[in-house]
Structure 1
Amino acid sequence: SDNYSLITDIGSGWQNLGTHSSSTQSYSPTAVITKRFYLSTFGSYIAGFSASSIYTPSPVTDELRIKGSVYKVQASANSTIIGDMVVTNVSNNSILDVKASSDFHTESDIINESGSTIKLNGRINIEGDIINNALINSSGEIIFIGNSDQTIGGSNVTSFSDFTVNKPSGNVILDINTIVSETLKLNSGIIITGSDTLKCTSPLSSKITGYSGNSFVFGFLKKSIGVNTSTYPLPVGNGNGNTFYHLAEFINNNVVGISAITASVASITESGNNVDVNLDPLKAIQDGTELVNVLEDAEWRIDPAGNITAGNFGVNLYVDNISNLSSADDFEFCVLKRNSSSTDYADWDAFSSTTTISNTDQGGRTYITYDGGGIPIGSGFAQRTGYTSFSKFAIAKSGDVPLPVELISFTGELVNGKVYLNWTTLTEVNNEYFSIEKAKWDETNSFPDWEFVLSVRGAGNSSTKIDYFEIDKNPYQGISYYRLKQNDFDGNYFYSNIVQIDNTQILNNTGYVLEFITYPNPSFNEKIFVISTKAYKPENDLYFEITDMLGRKIMSKRIVTDQTGSFNFYINEGIDLNSGLYNARITDFSINKKTISTYSNKLVIK
């Protein structure tokens, strides 16, 4: 070991300064410890061989103290400290300067004392604590690699650019608020914040990576957001261990007025008013199905910095480590929300009239998430979108009653004296069949006599969009109403919206019938004629219009029947109809502007 010596550069080249101590030096295949006493001038220090050759890499003493000078780790260089690293201010600022692309490794603590500076542009791998009482300027990366708990403390808030947790064992414990301005990399090890907060200030959703049950934030995680449609991961937990991991995601839909959100999660102790029996069936209800069990393992809280002035958001609440939930509960669970200060289950609300739950088994309704081909790709979650306020969120389920068929639409239309009925589902759960019912209008606008019309077999369980179409060939005369009834295998059922049909084709029993055709149909946008097929009232005003399938009016015009009650005109003079399906309708408003007769035809443009 006496072949090695601490040599110094004070600005005039490397040289021997002070007194060499061979008796207290040591050498091994993994470390060289050099010592020199009575140094009177600060400078740069390395371990040299025979006082001339530079030894690289250069472990420097059992403890390194920087007093009023600069310790610089040059670009692409490596430096290892096997003891504490102390940056001390004496009469001048002391600086630890870790250059870009360099690696500084300390097996113990870094203590940045008041008035000193750490410049981190490369990488610091640390096995001990960071005590920061001064300034850390960082555009580099701090990597926590110790085998035991490591603490970030001191009197000054510490800010890092990239913050990586890659620990074989133990946790990272915050004793002070800590800032990550770029990427938080959660590879292995849990960050415990206590009452402090880990603040990730990049507004990009991609700046939290690697999270899992082995690495998450136990405590408070604050994430800056932008005005966008990104989904932000919030990897939080309510304990120290992988069974306490409860991932949430914030689904941004161009929220304006919020700069950041703070997420945490806690379990619920069910007692007092905080019990399932207190759930309000008028609020904890989804599509007519009552939610009866709040899953108390995880209650997520998301608090905003600011107030929403535009846009909305959604949440994905993951099922990991939620007891009393499995694939047997698919389509039986969804998200509930209540005020952040609430301790009463009566406050849980689905907000089903203003929010939306997921429609497929590819995320948001099932215990396992599947791709479009039915292949499992990850843990399931409960999803709800359309929120405009923040608070507490939880997963609740409906017991053994599946949330019903997700019905997109139910419509009816009179065409050539028949009622064409169309409906579309996005998902079906336990669906045995549909039935169509109709009722006549009466003077009291009540429907005492719903009548069965027809039935259609359901899909049972489906996660794909299905279109249904049926015809009532014998509709009521005058005004009538139709509804769709969905029937489960277990006897449960629910009704759709009600559709009104006006089949007032006969005018006051005089025999006049309003009926026409469009020709040619389909049309390639050549001249299209509207031709009466039955005699109507002579010299009578009629109203003609064309609408698209969303009911938007494309064109309209007034027409008059001739002396025989006929009409014949063409409709696309001066207008261009795009390819698609349209509805052509003629209506008689001739008596006090009331609908006396109406007739419709489908028109196809190719």
Structure 2
Amino acid sequence: MSANIFGQTMLDNYDGVGDLTYTEEASGTVWNVNTTLDYYEGQTNSSSAPEHSYASYDLTGSIAGWNLNKANSNTWFGWMDLNRTSVSGWGGTNYSCGMVLASNNADFNSGSPAGYAVAFRNSPDELVLVKFSGNITSGSTNLWSGATELVSSGYTYTDGDNGVNFFVEFLSDGTWKISYIAGAQLSDANATNSANYTGGNATSANDETYVGTTYKYSGWIYAHSSSATAEARFDNFGAGQTSVDPVTNLVIINASSTSANITWTLPGGYNSANNSILVFVRASSAVTQGTPTNAPSTYTANTTFGSGTAYENDANAYCVYKGDGTSVTVTGLTAGTVYHVLVYNVEDAGPTYSVAAIANTRSLWEDVEAGSKTSYDVGSDGCLANDDVTLTAGSWRLCDVLRGTSGSDNFNGIAAMRAISSGTATMNFDLPNGAQTLTMYHAKYGTDNSTTWVLEKSVDAATSWIQVGSEITTSSTTLTQATFTVNEACAVRFRIRKTDGTASNRTNWDDIEVTNYTGTCIKDNYYRSTATGDWDNAATWEVSTDLAVWNPATNTPSAEAKTVTVRSPDKVTLQAGGPAITLDEITVDVGGTLEYQNTSGNITINNGTGVDLIVNGTFEDHDIQAGNAILFLTGATWQLGAAATMLKTNTGPSTIWRDNYQGGMTAIPDGSGGALWHLKKTGANTPGFSSTGGTFYPNLTLENTSGTAWSNGVGAKFVGASDFPTIKGNLDVGGAGSVSTVTLRTENRNATPVVVKGNTTIRSGHVMIIGDETGAPTGGTGFQFEGNVTVDGTLDYEATDATNTNRLLKFTNTSAQSVSGTGTLNVYNMEIDKSTNDVTLSRNVTVDNLLTLTAGDIISSSASRLTLETTATVSPSDANKKAGSATSFVSGIMDRKVNSSTTEYEFPMGHNGTGNWRPMTVKPRDATARTWTVEFKWSDGTVDYGTAIQANELITSMNSDYYHEITRAPVSGNADIKMFYEQSDITSWGITEADMVIGHWDGADWNNWSLNAAGDWVRDATNNWVQVLNANAFSPGGPGGGGGTTPIELLAFNAKYIAGKVHLDWATATEINNDFYTIERCQTNCNPNYPENWEIVITVDGAGNSNEELSYIAYDDDPYGGISYYRLKQTDFDGQFEYFDVVAVEIPAENETIINVYLNDGIVFVNVNSSEEKIFQIKITNVLGEKLVENNYVIQKGNNLISIDDLQSLPMQMLLISIMNESEKHTKKIIIEK
């Protein structure tokens, strides 16, 4: 590591060498240099004095580069005593008696002087600041022709005034200010302090007409009366400046491990006969300057560090140079040690040396003057050691960066860095004393386009990097200075990184200067707050070395402190516009608050021991910066206490908090202790929301006190797909203090919805919505609620997002849940998935698309009812429309809106108290829009309504367990009603499944709607349901018993396609009261629940009663092509019937002609099954080719049977039968046997 040298300079004392010149037109004018060396003064003090005298101080050749501009704001002060009893003798209408502050000409009697002056305006008589252009003519009452008043001080001369003190400032924004105080002349000490002037005014506009290097600081007095006295003073042209400028351009070059070359520029006016340069060097810390009194002759210089004479005010600073030169090479240095240099020039004459010192706290100066690198990358190792270059300040690693010296490069001196693509210039060494500021120059290369770059710092020897300040855009070929506030107390290094990534646009970097941090790097102290206040105010803190004895702090905490604690009830503010601060091992106690304001200073969370930021009280994040305002170094973490609050009010990102939580964000408190993530919109900006997946919150509250809506899509939105957010506690949309609307939206597309483990509250006037507001099918899985849901505002889904089939409200967890509130609740999909307990509705809930019943019940009442919209479906629901399950159903009452005559609508009903699940369906007979209401009651209907049964109806008994209350609105229209039962019900009731009917209470008795004929009822013993068809009145109804039909015992039912027909056969073991069988077929939409899609093929008589195995055969002579379905229906003598399982048959395709030939009793039968009408020729020949039969036949569509009996007399032989036309030919063989 190279030795690092830092410089300081001290100014020359006032030596009076050829700087001040003055002219007097007659004797009696006196110009003096004040003995305190801080101002010049001149006066006209006798009646014989001329009307004016002047003195000028020409800085052009004395302090090079100093001029009257915004970079070097300057002040003038003075005092005027007119000593008159009356101003009437002045005459004139313009200006009289004044002092020139700055002019382009030192001789005011010739040429065309122009500049600025303080003068008395004659009418009215006020002290003013003017700019002038034109001659100043001796004896003229018009002192400055063409003068323009900039601003009046407000002071008006009164006869007999002792005088007026004035103070003029040229401000950094290019405006002027003049202040005054009337009365006695101020002392020298008080005259230099603007605070001692009580009156005055400032200009409202920038005026820099006469500033620049060609304008001189000039003092000039004009008294337009032989009896007037005027005195004016002007100070030493800027704080700390003297008549000889300081040693300048102190640089460090050729630094190595043991030596360094120090150079400087001699000050203007330097006189080797009277002046000497002394250079002192000290290790590790700055030289103590003090007031030098020893003459240079008392010092012996030695270039070997430690061998020269020690400085009189610092025994550890050694003289390494004495003389009139401009450089010295110092040897004997130690690698890794920081050295500080004091260079000052002294005058040998005089008893004392009053040295005005300017401390140069520069810790790095890199001007790229030394070293060499002519290519962007060296070697084939990438950006590694081959790209290390020793420049002026030390070793740098230049990646995609070279040392540019061409005519297209822009630099101060002879070279600058030139970067392409994503080039970086990285220091290979630390600045052990930290850094207060970094300034550097930048310009674009040649005719390239604009580029962008950032400055980064590392406090861990380049292990990690932190951006300092904002990204810089370089758009000019003129070198422009960029300044960064660093405020790093301990060791630091820097990296400059080009961010635009464009190889064709190049950037120059030059003259990088870093100043030392002004505080102390303190690593071993403990800090705690002692009052509410700013972080960077030492008065806010107490300090201790042992946690036992606490004293007022003299420094503010840094990351090197052992621990920092913000105590209750203190609020410590990282204030707006404050410095960058690094935090480490900081704890905010319960009741304490740490506030981060909207600030330009970055906050860095350092990676120290344990958790780096523990918030047990409140952390207020008011950041609006889009980038790295709050930074976590690699490994740094934070933690929220069980009762703590994280408050965000502005647009800064929240992902930093998500990604750096101690133990991962799943470890954040569950909210049961009150831990809160509080998003609060307080102004035009909206709080940054960690909206992507993987974020965990304790309790989450969104509040809006701004007076403007927190609208859709701005801030409060969950997005992403790879993961999902989880709120471990309660979700509060609106908060207690909102005055404007909050809208929380989820567009998260993960398969798991946004999880809310606690209660969810949507307050009145606020909105929570699922889906993309643009209508794009990009998201909105929904919300998973594990607590109660209260909707007093609006809970809705995005209807325009039509392709998004999620939009789910899922209720889960093991505890009982409720849905309540008086606001608007629109549900697209709703799922109940609870291993224990249920969801109770305390308000009406409507599901528009899908109700999924996985586990747990919905408890719905008349006042707080579940409704399914017309398009809604229920899952699970089997082919028989048996919806819900034994572990999940709707208990109580529910509505279904209908508008179709082809849809069978499910009612997944059950009884929560007993756990009994008994669903039912309604299939309207017309498409009129209606609402059907079903209430399931586990109760004996004969007890609740009556025991009377209509004797003339099919029904003979009612079950004693349950029934359904069924109503419709409007009260009209017929429907098919299906009810499901359990097999155990049949045993309990003593009813056979063949006897099952639905009993209906009509107000007088239980009846069968007078539906007693075949076709009025459908029973499915396999799937345990019974259905009444075309019911015309509705009221309580439930399963009951009928007339005692005994079904057949079916052994088999088969269907096969043979010879153009469907062959159907079945067998029975027993038959009781069996009247007949019906074969039905169907080709499309062949659900057994849609009888209208089935047609009768054939009816076959039954055996009545039989205990023997019987077989039956029937045929479908004209089947459909393709796949068809057949079912067997059995009907008793009393009209009761039963269906059996469906079988399928595949028929050859439509375009085939199927031909079968067989012989019976000497007659040849030809069976032709054709898809359309055709003409065929049938020809029969023997094996010798002799034609026996040849005839043409017209074949109809379908099955055709042709008999040929002309061959009965033939002897035994084989015959060939050909059936053909112009497009087909079929050949069959047949053998005649005798």
Q: Which TM-score band applies after superposition, normalised by the shorter structure?
A: 0.5 to 0.7
Q: Are residues 426 and 101 of structure 1, via their aligned partners in 2, closer, same or farther at CA, if it must alter by over 3 Å?
A: farther
Residue identity in the other structure for 1:64: T
The gaps in structure 2 that reach 5 residues or longer are 1-610, 632-637, 645-660, 670-674, 772-779, 799-806, 878-882, 1049-1065, 1077-1100, 1116-1129, 1137-1164, 1175-1195, 1202-1234
> Post-superposition shift, 1:522?
12
> In the alignment, what sits opposite 2:770?
120
CA deviations on 1:250-300 (whole Å, 9 max, x unpaired) are 2344x2324332222113436679454x212112x1xxxxx3320132212
> In the alignment, what sits opposite 1:259?
930
Q: Are the equivalent residues in 2 in contact too, given 1:202–1:223 (CA < 8 A)?
A: yes
**TM-score of the two chains, using structure 2 as the length reference:** 0.30
Is the aligned partner of 1:138 residue 2:774?
no
Q: Are residues 211 and 231 of structure 1, via their aligned partners in 2, closer, same or farther at CA, if it must alter by over 3 Å?
A: same
CA deviations on 1:295-339 (whole Å, 9 max, x unpaired) are 132212222232546xx4312211136364589713021122233
Q: Are the equivalent residues in 2 in contact too, given 1:248–1:316 (CA < 8 A)?
A: yes
Is the aligned partner of 1:84 residue 2:730?
yes
Is the aligned partner of 1:295 residue 2:959?
yes
> In the alignment, what sits opposite 1:60?
697
Which of the numbers 1005, 1011, 1029 marks the counterpart of 1:345?
A: 1005
CA deviations on 1:528-548 (whole Å, 9 max, x unpaired) are xxxxxxxxxxxxxxxxxxxxx
Is the aligned partner of 1:71 residue 2:737?
no
Q: Are the equivalent residues in 1 in contact too, given 2:697–2:727 (CA < 8 A)?
A: yes
Q: Are the equivalent residues in 1 in contact too, given 2:940–2:959 (CA < 8 A)?
A: no
Is the aligned partner of 1:246 residue 2:908?
no
Residue identity in the other structure for 1:83: G
Residue identity in the other structure for 1:141: L
Q: C-alpha separation between the residues in 2 aligned to 1:234 and 1:463?
A: 42
Q: C-alpha separation between the residues in 1 aligned to 2:764 and 2:825?
A: 13
Q: Are the equivalent residues in 2 in contact too, given 1:355–1:387 (CA < 8 A)?
A: no
Residue identity in the other structure for 1:116: H
> Post-superposition shift, 1:354?
9.1
> In the alignment, what sits opposite 1:322?
985
Which of the numbers 972, 975, 983 marks the counterpart of 1:313?
A: 975
Residue identity in the other structure for 1:115: G
> Post-superposition shift, 1:88?
1.3
CA deviations on 1:20-44 (whole Å, 9 max, x unpaired) are 9977669556323587899866633
Residue identity in the other structure for 1:187: T
Q: Are residues 461 and 74 of structure 1, via their aligned partners in 2, closer, same or farther at CA, if it must alter by over 3 Å?
A: farther
Q: Are residues 234 and 403 of structure 1, via their aligned partners in 2, closer, same or farther at CA, if it must alter by over 3 Å?
A: farther
Q: C-alpha separation between the residues in 1 aligned to 2:979 and 2:1135?
A: 30
Is the aligned partner of 1:99 residue 2:747?
yes
CA deviations on 1:492-546 (whole Å, 9 max, x unpaired) are x7699xxxxxxxxxxxxxxxxxxxxxxxx999999xxxxxxxxxxxxxxxxxxxx
Q: Are residues 300 and 55 of structure 1, via their aligned partners in 2, closer, same or farther at CA, if it must alter by over 3 Å?
A: closer
Q: C-alpha separation between the residues in 2 aligned to 1:579 and 1:37?
A: 81
Range that drifts further, 36-45 or 63-72:
36-45
Q: Are residues 36 and 101 of structure 1, via their aligned partners in 2, closer, same or farther at CA, if it must alter by over 3 Å?
A: closer
Partner SS, residue 861 of structure 2: strand
CA deviations on 1:1-22 (whole Å, 9 max, x unpaired) are 44578756647446459xx997
> In the alignment, what sits opposite 2:1041?
397
> In the alignment, what sits opposite 1:211?
884
Alignment of 1:275-286 (within 5 A): 275-276=946-947, 278-283=948-953, 285=954
Which of the numbers 811, 817, 823 marks the counterpart of 1:150?
A: 817
Residue identity in the other structure for 1:336: G
The structure whose residues are more often strand, as a share, is 1
The gaps in structure 1 that reach 5 residues or longer are 48-53, 286-290, 359-363, 370-378, 406-424, 436-453, 469-485, 497-520, 527-575, 582-606
Whose RCO is larger (CA < 8 A, sep 6+)?
Answer: 1
CA deviations on 1:210-264 (whole Å, 9 max, x unpaired) are 710111100122122232422222111233353x2111122344x2324332222
Q: Are residues 427 and 161 of structure 1, via their aligned partners in 2, closer, same or farther at CA, if it must alter by over 3 Å?
A: farther
Report the count of equivalent residues.
417
> In the alignment, what sits opposite 1:449?
none
Q: Are residues 258 and 487 of structure 1, via their aligned partners in 2, closer, same or farther at CA, if it must alter by over 3 Å?
A: closer
Q: Which runs of 4+ in 1 moved over 6 A?
A: 20-24, 34-39, 425-429, 460-468, 521-526, 576-581
Q: Are residues 426 and 336 of structure 1, via their aligned partners in 2, closer, same or farther at CA, if it must alter by over 3 Å?
A: farther
> In the alignment, what sits opposite 1:388?
1032
**TM-score of the two chains, using structure 1 as the length reference:** 0.57
> In the alignment, what sits opposite 2:193?
none
Q: Are the equivalent residues in 2 in contact too, given 1:150–1:172 (CA < 8 A)?
A: yes
Q: C-alpha separation between the residues in 2 aligned to 1:279 and 1:433?
A: 27
Q: Are the equivalent residues in 2 in contact too, given 1:164–1:185 (CA < 8 A)?
A: yes
Q: C-alpha separation between the residues in 2 aligned to 1:38 and 1:64?
A: 6
> In the alignment, what sits opposite 1:566?
none
Q: Are residues 270 and 57 of structure 1, via their aligned partners in 2, closer, same or farther at CA, if it must alter by over 3 Å?
A: closer
Structure number with larger C-alpha Rg: 2
Alignment of 1:114-513 (within 5 A): 114-121=764-771, 122=780, 123-139=782-798, 140-195=807-862, 196-203=864-871, 205=873, 209=877, 211-242=884-915, 244-253=916-925, 255-269=926-940, 274-276=945-947, 278-283=948-953, 285=954, 291-308=955-972, 312-320=974-982, 322=985, 324-325=987-988, 329-339=992-1002, 342=1003, 344-346=1004-1006, 349-353=1009-1013, 356-358=1016-1018, 364-366=1019-1021, 369=1022, 379-398=1023-1042, 401-402=1044-1045, 430-431=1071-1072, 458=1105
Partner SS, residue 716 of structure 2: strand
Partner SS, residue 161 of structure 1: strand
Aligned Cα root-mean-square deviation (Å): 4.8
Q: C-alpha separation between the residues in 2 aligned to 1:396 and 1:429?
A: 26
Q: C-alpha separation between the residues in 2 aligned to 1:166 and 1:58?
A: 23
Q: Are the equivalent residues in 1 in contact too, given 2:623–2:629 (CA < 8 A)?
A: yes
Residue identity in the other structure for 1:305: A
Q: Are the equivalent residues in 2 in contact too, given 1:203–1:226 (CA < 8 A)?
A: no
Q: C-alpha separation between the residues in 2 aligned to 1:231 and 1:463?
A: 38
> Post-superposition shift, 1:79?
1.3
Q: C-alpha separation between the residues in 2 aligned to 1:249 and 1:313?
A: 10
Identity of aligned residues (%): 15
Range that drifts further, 3-12 or 82-91:
3-12
Q: Are the equivalent residues in 1 in contact too, given 2:679–2:702 (CA < 8 A)?
A: no
CA deviations on 1:97-122 (whole Å, 9 max, x unpaired) are 11141531111111000100001222
> In the alignment, what sits opposite 2:668?
32
Q: Are the equivalent residues in 2 in contact too, given 1:182–1:207 (CA < 8 A)?
A: no
Q: Are residues 55 and 267 of structure 1, via their aligned partners in 2, closer, same or farther at CA, if it must alter by over 3 Å?
A: closer
